[in-house]
Structure 1
Amino acid sequence: MFSVEEDIADRACSGYQDQHPHTILYNILCWRDSDPLNDEASSYLVSQTCHCKQRKVRLKDPTATCQVASSVLIKTVCFMRSLPSFSQLPLGDQSALLTHCWVPLFVLGLAQERIMFEVTDVPNPSILRQILLRPGLSEKEADQPTLAGVHRLRACLYQLWDLDLSPQEYAYLRGATLFNPAVRGLSAMLLIEGLQQEAQRALQEVIQLLHPEDASRFRHVSLAASTTQNVSHSLITELFFKPVIGNTNMLHLLTDMLFVQ
């Protein structure tokens, strides 16, 4: 589950100015609320106090969390394999949809199973080590999960949890997410577009059946689902699977899971 300290960090990173010390410079810049220049300077100062983009993090309990995440991933791939409409697509289209859609589908799986996790800071190397080894570590460090990325993932999960989706809603939402005609290089784009529309219509029908009094629910569900597209592939891979698969290529692993009987 999420720690109290991380919830405080979320609020600080969201621009809660009262979480920051009111230095003399801060008070000078914020002196006149009606002055747009002062407002801009204040916002800039607050943004400079947020280091979540630089803070590298890792799972606090990788053994347990990675095991649960692996289970969600297996269910995600099994969902794709179980759809005749997916398995009948050209192999190139199946591969393209897998590459583009596995992270949004995985996040929907995390949301449906209400997977909660804690992260902790990655210890920073010494200043001397950073100076001596920075050129060789820059690419590796760039791939490490950041607190900002975790915030985006959690915001996505919170939106989905707030809607309290039923299993049927999740099922049709997965279909609408998987059959994405916007993926580049599809040879059966029109067919995939039709499959997405079919899934969306089914989602609308089940929403009307379960929530006839909520005319805006379909729009809210669609908006919440769209946030899964903002979760980066590298964040999910590095945070949940790197401790298990090491340097194995994630897409190669997923391809084997999907196509190898």
Structure 2
Amino acid sequence: MKHVCKRFNMNTNCKCQSGPACDRLSNPILFNILSHMDSHQSTPSVSHWCNCESRRTVVLKRPTEVCKEASVVLVKTVHFMKNLPAFNQLPGRDRGVLLEHCWAPLFILGLAQERMDFEVTDTAADSMLKKILLNRQHGPGVEREQPTAAAVRKLKTCLKRLWNLDLSPKEYAYLKGTTIFNPDVPELKAGLLVAALQQEAENALSEVVHMLHMEERDRFGHILLMASSLRSISPHLLTELFFRPVIGSADLLQLMADMLF
């Protein structure tokens, strides 16, 4: 991301894309509270009041409906992996490692295939004020990092690009195969086999693309490039945005492993 808002004291301007400095709060009463606290204790986290997209936290507008739809996509994603004979032939540890590193891009492909759209809204401002007034200070690492507007925008951009490609069901299936069998994942025991399986999936994808879109010579490359960009989306973002409201403090990866094995 080009514009990264760093943690800083309130007298330092934030040079973000939106323009306004982070220390210029529109509410003078809130600003006075923050200033008063700054003179007695450490500065509150910028992530709660910075105007930058990279620090502005967001939540789903319709969490009940969207989380339910996302859970269905996740279950389909795990079942897709479970029903692949080649995947089941891999050592159990390799399957677990591939699940850990590949579930996020696979899930995004599932969101795109299901044409699942969603909207977010800013985290309620009064929750931050309430914490200040009640002086509820949390130690480092206690609070979970919330999804940011910038991260969600990046995810939605990936989804729109996938929709623009208008992939067929077969293209999605083989593309998921190239994503699952990723030989670059560390600690694989059967790395050579995984590489061979990925190459096989890529060859099958290439054949389907050529058969369905003979006139689009660059389509195969565009699809692979788009798929590789999905790995830049943080699994943490997907977990906190779509599943934390449902699973609470449970470990999402462990829940997926239980379904898979």
The interval holding the TM-score normalised by the smaller chain is: 0.7 to 0.9
CA distance in 2, matches of 1:100, 1:156: 18
CA distance in 2, matches of 1:45, 1:98: 36
- Quick check: 2:56–2:149 contact (8 Å CA) kept in 1? yes
CA distance in 2, matches of 1:204, 1:126: 51
Identity of matched residues, %:
51
CA distance in 2, matches of 1:239, 1:128: 22
Task: Please state how far the C-alpha of 1:223 moved relative to its aligned partner.
Answer: 1.2
Identify the residue that residue 225 of structure 1 maps to in structure 2: 227
Identify the residue that residue 250 of structure 1 maps to in structure 2: 252
Higher RCO structure, 1 or 2 (CA under 8 Å, sep 6+): 1
Task: Please state how far the C-alpha of 1:66 moved relative to its aligned partner.
Answer: 0.7
* TM-score, normalised with respect to structure 2: 0.79
CA RMSD of aligned residues (A): 2.0
- Quick check: 2:16–2:52 contact (8 Å CA) kept in 1? no
Task: Please state how far the C-alpha of 1:256 moved relative to its aligned partner.
Answer: 0.4
- Quick check: 1:72–1:109 contact (8 Å CA) kept in 2? yes
Task: Please state how far the C-alpha of 1:225 moved relative to its aligned partner.
Answer: 1.0
Q: 2:204 aligns with which of 202, 205, 213?
A: 202
- Quick check: 2:54–2:148 contact (8 Å CA) kept in 1? yes
Secondary structure at 1:120 match in 2? strand
Q: Does 1:185 align with 2:187?
A: yes
CA distance in 1, matches of 2:238, 2:130: 31
Identify the residue that residue 65 of structure 1 maps to in structure 2: 66
- AA of the residue aligned to 1:233: P
Alignment of 1:135-214 (within 5 A): 135-136=138-139, 138-139=140-141, 141=143, 143-214=145-216
Secondary structure at 1:46 match in 2? coil
Identify the residue that residue 113 of structure 2 maps to in structure 1: 112
Task: Please state how far the C-alpha of 1:47 moved relative to its aligned partner.
Answer: 6.1
Identify the residue that residue 17 of structure 2 maps to in structure 1: 46
- AA of the residue aligned to 1:143: E
Secondary structure at 2:254 match in 1? helix
Identify the residue that residue 48 of structure 2 maps to in structure 1: none
CA distance in 1, matches of 2:236, 2:179: 19
Secondary structure at 2:189 match in 1? coil
CA distance in 1, matches of 2:183, 2:132: 44
Secondary structure at 1:133 match in 2? coil
CA distance in 2, matches of 1:239, 1:145: 6
Identify the residue that residue 19 of structure 1 maps to in structure 2: none
In the superposition, relative to structure 1, how do residues 253 and 128 fare at CA in structure 2: closer, same or farther (>3 Å)? closer
Secondary structure at 2:238 match in 1? helix
Runs (5+) with no aligned partner, structure 1: 1-12, 16-43
Q: 2:237 aligns with which of 197, 218, 235?
A: 235
- Quick check: 1:57–1:119 contact (8 Å CA) kept in 2? yes
Q: Which has the higher helix share?
A: 1
- Quick check: 1:152–1:230 contact (8 Å CA) kept in 2? no
Identify the residue that residue 33 of structure 1 maps to in structure 2: none
- Quick check: 1:173–1:200 contact (8 Å CA) kept in 2? yes
